[in-house]
């Protein structure tokens, strides 16, 4: 199996179906996700982020494209690698960073951590750290939308490793037989944790080659190309909204770092890493936008404003209080408490 990147070239000026404002908005998101993840990494190195964390560096185009294509009211379900998907739904950086730092002003007051980012008011319905679990859960929110006729679509993002667990297969079949408005997005970064996905999977394209088994179209897209991603995302969301049922998208991408903070990713061949670094979505998309007539000034302004916003988010997070004892026993039950006896 080839691990070569898809053939889209950086800097080419093609006719894009996506309008200018949306493309600039996607660039803004790409920059925000990139700068945020870099800052999160810096804060690990300063030992301010405890526990573990899984970064989306290199994979931002998928989250950015869906963030731009989804509507308010749509539901996102992500994995433990969920910072980018959370921010892409408009969740502010400060509370997300504070959650990573375990502070009381965190998105969940420190009770969830990096792997469980959730912001229901933004349609970010959770980050799930048990592989595969959120695919059936996304089916449930899609079922609810279908039942109540809300027109909302649920989108579940997951890695290539997820395609080998049972819940993936249960969810695809379930979504298809009930025609649920759900989009399954496999971010194939070629590695399930530390192991090459090709070494542990029976087919070449771990998600797309399984689509036929569930009566779904085989969709493979360059996950480092925001325009291509946006086109595919919009089509799948429209399809779901029109009542035509689920889609399964396999987006080819690459993570710039290891699986988690503990992983230096020494198992990846240098040539492969270099090849994918050359296809970094950020500089690639920047060059393309300029080639298509977007002023560099505008992009520089976005970069400057985002850098400042990340600094402000960092200050917000660092200034957060340590969570108080009152939070410890709070919110096991809907009455706000934890009592199991009288």
Partner 1 sequence: MAELSYREAIARGIAQEMRRDENVVFLGEDVAAAGGVFKGTVGLLEEFGPKRVRDTPISEQAILGAAMGAAMTGLRPVAEIMFSDFFAVCWDIVVNEIAKSRYMTNGQVSFPLVIRSGNGGGLRFGAQHSQSVESWAMAVPGLKVVVPSSPVDVVGLLAASIRDPDPVIFLEAKALYPTKGEVPEGDVPDELGRAKVLRRGDDATLVAIGSMVPRAMKAAEQLATTGIDCTVVDVRSLVPLDTQTLLEEISRTGRLFTVEENPRLCGWGGELVSIVGEEIFYDLDGAPVRITTPHIPLPAADALEDMAIPSVERIAERVQKAMQE
Residues of this chain that interact with partner 1 (CB under 8 A) are: 75, 108-109, 111-112, 116, 118-120, 125-126, 128, 130, 132-145, 147-148, 154, 166-167, 170-171, 173-174, 177-178, 327, 330-336, 338-342
CB of 207 to partner 1, least distance (A): 17
CB contact set of 153 (below 8 Å; sequence gap of 6+)? 70, 71, 74, 75, 142, 145, 181, 182, 183, 237, 240, 241
Measured from the CB atom, the residue of 3 and 173 that comes closer to partner 1 is 173
CB of 325 to partner 1, least distance (A): 15
CB of 172 to partner 1, least distance (A): 9
Cβ proximity of 140 and 153 under 8 Å: no
CB of 33 to partner 1, least distance (A): 22
Quickly tell me which residue has 């300029």 as its tokens: 290
Measured from the CB atom, the residue of 101 and 302 that comes closer to partner 1 is 101
Measured from the CB atom, the residue of 76 and 189 that comes closer to partner 1 is 76
Sign of CA dihedral 332, 143, 233, 224: positive
User: Which is nearest to 86 in space by CA: 55, 51, 110?
Assistant: 55
Measured from the CB atom, the residue of 97 and 139 that comes closer to partner 1 is 139
Task: Write 44-52 long-range contacts (CB < 8 A, 24+).
Answer: 44/261, 48/101, 48/318, 49/100, 49/101, 49/114, 49/261, 50/101, 50/102, 51/113, 51/114, 52/114, 52/115, 52/260, 52/261, 52/262
Q: Which two tokens stand for residue 88?
A: 């892409």
CB of 250 to partner 1, least distance (A): 21
Q: Which residues pair with 188 in a beta bridge?
A: 252
CB of 121 to partner 1, least distance (A): 8
CB of 158 to partner 1, least distance (A): 13
Q: Which two tokens stand for residue 240?
A: 């779901």
Measured from the CB atom, the residue of 114 and 224 that comes closer to partner 1 is 114
Measured from the CB atom, the residue of 20 and 50 that comes closer to partner 1 is 50
Cβ proximity of 328 and 337 under 8 Å: no
Measured from the CB atom, the residue of 109 and 221 that comes closer to partner 1 is 109
């Amino acid at each position: 199996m080839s691990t070569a990147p898809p053939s889209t070239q950086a800097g080419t000026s093609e006719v894009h179906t996506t309008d200018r404002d949306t493309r600039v908005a996607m660039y803004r998101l790409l920059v925000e996700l990139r700068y945020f993840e870099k800052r999160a990494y810096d804060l690990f190195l300063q030992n301010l982020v405890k526990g573990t964390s899984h970064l989306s560096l290199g994979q931002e185009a998928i989250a950015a494209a869906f963030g731009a294509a989804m509507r308010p009211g749509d539901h996102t379900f992500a994995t433990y690698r969920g910072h980018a998907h959370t921010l892409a739904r408009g969740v502010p950086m400060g509370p997300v960073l504070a959650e990573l730092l375990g502070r009381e002003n965190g998105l969940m007051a420190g009770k969830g951590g990096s792997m469980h980012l959730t912001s229901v008011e933004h349609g970010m319905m959770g980050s799930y750290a048990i592989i595969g679990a959120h695919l059936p859960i996304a089916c449930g929110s899609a079922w609810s939308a279908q039942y109540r006729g809300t027109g909302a679509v649920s989108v579940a993002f997951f890695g290539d490793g997820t395609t080998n667990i049972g819940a993936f297969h249960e969810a695809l079949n379930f979504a298809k037989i009930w025609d649920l408005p759900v989009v399954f997005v496999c971010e194939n970064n070629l590695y399930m944790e530390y192991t090459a996905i090709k070494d542990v999977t029976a087919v070449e394209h771990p998600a797309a080659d399984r689509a036929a088994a569930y009566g779904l179209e085989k969709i493979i897209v360059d996950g480092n190309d925001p325009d291509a991603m946006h086109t595919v995302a919009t089509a799948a969301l429209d399809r779901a909204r029109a009542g035509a049922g689920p889609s399964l998208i396999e987006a080819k991408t690459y993570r710039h770092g290891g699986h988690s903070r503990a992983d230096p990713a020494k198992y990846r061949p240098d040539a492969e890493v270099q090849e994918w670094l050359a296809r970094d979505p950020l500089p690639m998309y920047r060059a393309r936008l300029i080639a298509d007539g977007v002023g560099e000034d505008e992009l520089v302004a976005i970069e400057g404003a985002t850098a400042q916003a990340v600094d402000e988010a960092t200050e917000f997070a660092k200034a957060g209080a340590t969570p108080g004892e009152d939070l410890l026993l709070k919110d096991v039950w809907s009455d706000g408490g934890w009592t199991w006896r009288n």
